[in-house]
């Protein structure tokens, strides 16, 4: 954001003063407490090959053991990582990163070539990376990934060992978030070549350049360790000596382990655990950048093309009851499409600025009025709709609850259908539904990652809601206003308002992660988007 305001003044601006956030001036450990953290995961670590990783555990482990150009920080900020500083050209298309002298865990230097190699490797068709799409703003990335251009044509070049030049197709102000993601981390070519097909499958078949080194992971086991990396450039600010990660899948077992002090941090699961601990001093609920919403098929059902019908549906739902009573897991009612507490400008949360109260709160009297009006306009007496969702417990609870809420509208009949995730997805994409509960998890903390979903031609716009004003606003945010942070922000705020005023979707709830973290553990950082957890500032008091 800072970048854009300076760029407005014109000229190439050097941002060398990215000061380290955080308090780390005390390098010596305070007290005699053992600096060891025992952290619970509920699933295994599938891979450490960042070109192939797709899951949460891989993302946070990679973030702890490796480091990209920039580092994600709280409140949607980035701090310097391997790059000391960076500059953005006037047209916003060329990003130049100046790298510090830092080392891999084998003692060799981390250079710009490691980044070039890593990005090229991810985009090589043979690698079959499932996250290749996230590079799509980089010049030639899509072509390279489709095998239509040589990898060398990719818009990333090393200018000497410590300067990396990235060329984009079009300006992307949130590119700074992307380079903080694990997919953009460096990979050492000689290590990848040396370990071959074993690369990233066990802790010993990897090199690390982050705050910690992974040890004791044989690729499939249920516990592993991360120890402080003495080759890390910022090691004096890393207080934690050791982290033990334990996979515990059964919620009761996990809680028992916490209560007998075998674990310092766990994720709670289920309403009872949360309601029992929500007043505990160790309890904290972390809001994820994931919104659940209802899509209404306007292509299949003419009745859903009526805005009053759509509004009535939204107004009939008591979202508080859904999150507090049905889930009771710390989730909160959604306040629009874009997740709250994710994106900020000048300290203000996007969700506060772009909320349309009437489109995300219950008003049964008004709902019935609009419903009657809508029925009259469409010439219907009764409507019968099919509600599609996943066959997970949460999916089933949601459909059961929504059914009970929606059928309060006279003449509306809802039939529930819960299908396995992949089948549900296919049905949504084929437009084979009336109402479907969809979810979106943002890849980076910028509203555009949500807003781009509902442009007329987007393939994730399953309900086929169309609005030219919305399309223009999103297009401007990605195009003509991309370099003007203020205008871009306004475009995006306006876009959600248009979407909500027309009730293009019905926002339902935003997910959260309820956790118990022992009060002696200080400095755990959470981000609503990947990697979510960062332990580089943790200390045990």
Partner 1 sequence: MADNAKSIKTGDFLPLSDVDRTHLDSEKIAAPSLTFLQDSWRRLRHSKAAMICLVILVILFILSFGSGLFQTHNPNATNPDLANLPPKIPGIDINGFNGTIMQSGTRINAYAQAHAHAGTYYILGTDYLGRDLFSRILFGTRISLTIALVASFFDLAFGVVYGIISGWLGGWVDTLMQRIIEIILSIPNLIVMVLLIVVLKPGMSAIIIAIAITSWVNMARLVRAQTLELKNQEFVLAARTLGESSFKIAFKHLLPNLASVIIINLMFTIPTAIFFEAFLSYIGIGVSAPQASLGTLISDGQKNFQFLPYQMWYPAIVLSIIMIAFNILGDGLRDAFDPKSNRK
Partner 2 sequence: MAKYLGKRIFYIILTLFIVTTVTFFLMKFMPGTPLTNQAKLSPSQIHQIYKQYGLDKPLWQQYLTYLAGAVHGNFGTSYQFSDQPVSYLISSRLGPSLTIGGEAMVVGVLIGIIVGSIGAVKQNTWIDTTATILSILGVSIPSFVLAVLLQYYLGLKLRLFPIADWGGFMYTVLPTLALAASPFAETARFMRTEMVDVLSSDYIELAKAKGLNKTGIIYHHALRNSLIPIVTIVGPLAVNIMTGSMVVENIFSIPGIGEQFVKSILTNDYPTIMGLAIVYCAMLCVVLLITDILYGLIDPRIRINK
Given the complex with partner 2, which of 55 and 400 has the nearer CB atom? Answer: 55
Q: How far is the CB of 52 from partner 2 (least distance, A)?
A: 5
Q: Is 326 in the site for partner 1 (CB under 8 A)?
A: yes
Q: Is 216 in the site for partner 2 (CB under 8 A)?
A: no
Q: Is 75 in the site for partner 1 (CB under 8 A)?
A: no
Helix%, strand%, coil% for the chain, nearest 5: 35, 25, 45
For residue 356 the two structure tokens come to 């349309």
Piece of the chain touching partner 1 by CB under 8 A; list 219-227, 252-260, 379-387, 523-531: 252-260
Separation between Cα atoms, residue 421 and residue 504, nearest integer Å = 23
Separation between Cα atoms, residue 295 and residue 302, nearest integer Å = 14
Instruction: Give the closest residue to 214 by CA, choosing from 225, 200, 205.
Output: 225
Q: Is 43 in the site for partner 1 (CB under 8 A)?
A: no
Q: Taking CB within 5 to 8 Å according to partner kind, which of partner 2, partner 1, none is near residue 222?
A: partner 2
Site string for partner 2, 138-167 (x = CB under 8 A): -------xx---------------------
Q: Taking CB within 5 to 8 Å according to partner kind, which of partner 2, partner 1, none is near residue 54?
A: partner 2
Q: How far is the CB of 427 from partner 1 (least distance, A)?
A: 15
Q: Is 218 in the site for partner 2 (CB under 8 A)?
A: yes
Separation between Cα atoms, residue 477 and residue 491, nearest integer Å = 6
* Buried/exposed 253-286: b ≥16 CB within 10 Å, e otherwise: ebbebbeeeebbbbbbbbbebbeebeeeebbbeb
Q: Taking CB within 5 to 8 Å according to partner kind, which of partner 1, partner 2, none is near residue 145?
A: partner 2
Q: Is 272 in the site for partner 1 (CB under 8 A)?
A: yes
Q: Is 275 in the site for partner 1 (CB under 8 A)?
A: yes
Instruction: Give the closest residue to 173 by CA, choosing from 483, 425, 383.
Output: 483
Whole-angstrom CA distances from 85 to 163, 177, 234 are 10, 14, 15
Site string for partner 2, 451-490 (x = CB under 8 A): ---------x------------------------------
Instruction: Give the closest residue to 202 by CA, choosing from 215, 225, 218, 213.
Output: 218
Q: Is 259 in the site for partner 2 (CB under 8 A)?
A: yes
Please calculate the CA angle 419-510-504 and round it to the nearest 5 degrees.
75
Q: How far is the CB of 438 from partner 1 (least distance, A)?
A: 20
Q: Is 418 in the site for partner 1 (CB under 8 A)?
A: yes
3-class secondary structure, 514: strand
Q: How far is the CB of 259 from partner 2 (least distance, A)?
A: 7
Separation between Cα atoms, residue 190 and residue 186, nearest integer Å = 12
A 10 A CB-CB count for 12 gives 12
Given the complex with partner 2, which of 125 and 411 has the nearer CB atom? Answer: 125
Q: How far is the CB of 17 from partner 2 (least distance, A)?
A: 36
Q: Is 66 in the site for partner 2 (CB under 8 A)?
A: no
**DSSP string for residues in 379-442:** T-S-EEEEEEEESSHHHHHHHHHHHHHHTTSTTEEEEEEEE-HHHHHHHHHHT--SEEEEEEE-
Q: From the list 125, 147, 150, 393, which residue makes contact with partner 1 (rule: CB under 8 A)?
A: 393
Residues 137-176 binding partner 1 (CB under 8 A) are none
For residue 299 the two structure tokens come to 């292509």
Q: How far is the CB of 292 from partner 1 (least distance, A)?
A: 17
105 in Cβ contact with 209 (< 8 Å): yes
161 in Cβ contact with 111 (< 8 Å): yes
Q: Taking CB within 5 to 8 Å according to partner kind, which of partner 1, partner 2, none is near residue 52?
A: partner 2
Q: Is 276 in the site for partner 1 (CB under 8 A)?
A: yes
Tally of CA atoms within 13 A in the half-sphere of 430 that contains its CB: 9
Q: Is 256 in the site for partner 1 (CB under 8 A)?
A: yes
207 in Cβ contact with 81 (< 8 Å): no
Residues 420-439 binding partner 1 (CB under 8 A) are 420
Q: Is 53 in the site for partner 2 (CB under 8 A)?
A: yes
**DSSP string for residues in 376-395:** HHHT-S-EEEEEEEESSHHH
Q: Is 325 in the site for partner 1 (CB under 8 A)?
A: yes
Q: Is 131 in the site for partner 2 (CB under 8 A)?
A: yes
Q: Is 477 in the site for partner 1 (CB under 8 A)?
A: no
Q: Is 272 in the site for partner 2 (CB under 8 A)?
A: no
Binding site for partner 2 (CB under 8 A): 44, 46-47, 49, 52-55, 125-126, 128, 130-133, 145-146, 197, 199-201, 218-223, 246-250, 252-253, 256-257, 259-260, 262, 420, 422-423, 425-426, 460
Please report, as ranges, the residues that interact with partner 1 according to CB under 8 A. 251-252, 255-256, 269-273, 275-276, 279, 321, 325-326, 328, 391, 393, 396-397, 400-401, 404, 418, 420
């Amino acid at each position: 954001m800072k970048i854009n305001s300076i760029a407005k003044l014109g000229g190439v601006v050097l941002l060398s003063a990215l000061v380290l956030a955080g308090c780390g001036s005390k390098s010596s450990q305070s007290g005699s407490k053992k600096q060891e953290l025992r952290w619970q995961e509920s699933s295994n670590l599938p891979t450490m090959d960042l070109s192939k990783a797709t899951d949460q555990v891989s993302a946070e482990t990679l973030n702890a053991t490796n480091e990209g150009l920039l580092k994600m920080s709280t409140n949607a900020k980035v701090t310097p990582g391997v790059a000391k500083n960076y500059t953005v050209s006037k047209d916003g298309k060329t990003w130049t990163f100046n790298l510090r002298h830092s080392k891999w865990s084998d003692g060799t230097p981390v250079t710009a070539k490691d980044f070039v190699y890593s990005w090229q490797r991810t985009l090589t068709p043979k690698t079959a990376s499932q996250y290749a799409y996230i590079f799509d703003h980089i010049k030639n990335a899509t072509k390279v990934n489709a095998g239509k251009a040589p990898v060398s044509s990719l818009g990333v070049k090393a200018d000497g060992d410590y300067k990396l030049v990235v060329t984009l197709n079009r300006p992307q102000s949130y590119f700074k978030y992307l380079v903080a993601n694990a997919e953009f981390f460096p990979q050492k070519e000689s290590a990848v070549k040396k370990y071959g097909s074993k690369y990233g499958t066990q802790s010993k078949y990897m090199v690390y350049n982050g705050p910690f080194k992974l040890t004791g992971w044989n690729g499939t086991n249920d516990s592993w360790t991360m120890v402080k990396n003495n080759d890390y450039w910022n090691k004096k600010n890393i207080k934690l000596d050791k982290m033990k990660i334990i996979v515990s899948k059964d919620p009761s077992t996990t809680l028992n382990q916490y209560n007998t002090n075998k674990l310092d941090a766990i994720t709670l699961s289920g309403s009872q655990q949360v309601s029992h601990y929500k007043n505990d001093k160790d309890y904290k609920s972390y809001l994820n950048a994931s919104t659940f919403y209802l899509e209404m098929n306007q292509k299949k059902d003419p009745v859903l093309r009526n805005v009053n019908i759509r509004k009535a549906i939204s107004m009939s739902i008591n979202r508080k009851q859904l999150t507090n009573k049905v889930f009771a897991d710390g989730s909160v009612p959604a306040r629009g499409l874009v997740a709250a507490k994710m994106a900020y400008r000048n300290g203000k949360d996007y969700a506060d600025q772009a909320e349309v109260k009437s489109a995300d709160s219950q008003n049964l009297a008004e709902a019935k009025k609009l419903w009657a009006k809508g029925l009259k306009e469409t010439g219907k007496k009764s409507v019968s709709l099919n509600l599609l969702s996943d066959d997970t417990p949460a999916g089933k609870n949601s459909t059961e609850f929504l059914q009970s809420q929606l059928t309060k509208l006279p003449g509306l009949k809802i039939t529930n259908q819960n299908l396995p995730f992949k089948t549900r997805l296919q049905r949504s994409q084929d437009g084979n539904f009336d109402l479907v509960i969809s979810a979106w998890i943002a890849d980076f903390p910028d509203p555009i990652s949500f807003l781009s979903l509902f442009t007329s031609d987007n393939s994730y716009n399953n309900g086929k809601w169309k609005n030219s004003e919305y399309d223009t606003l999103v297009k401007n945010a990605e195009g003509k206003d991309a370099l003007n942070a203020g205008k871009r922000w306004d475009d995006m705020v306006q876009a959600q308002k248009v979407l909500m005023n027309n009730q293009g979707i019905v926002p339902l709830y935003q997910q959260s992660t309820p956790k118990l973290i022992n009060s002696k553990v200080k400095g755990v950082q959470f981000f609503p988007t990947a990697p979510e957890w960062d332990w580089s500032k943790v200390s045990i008091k």
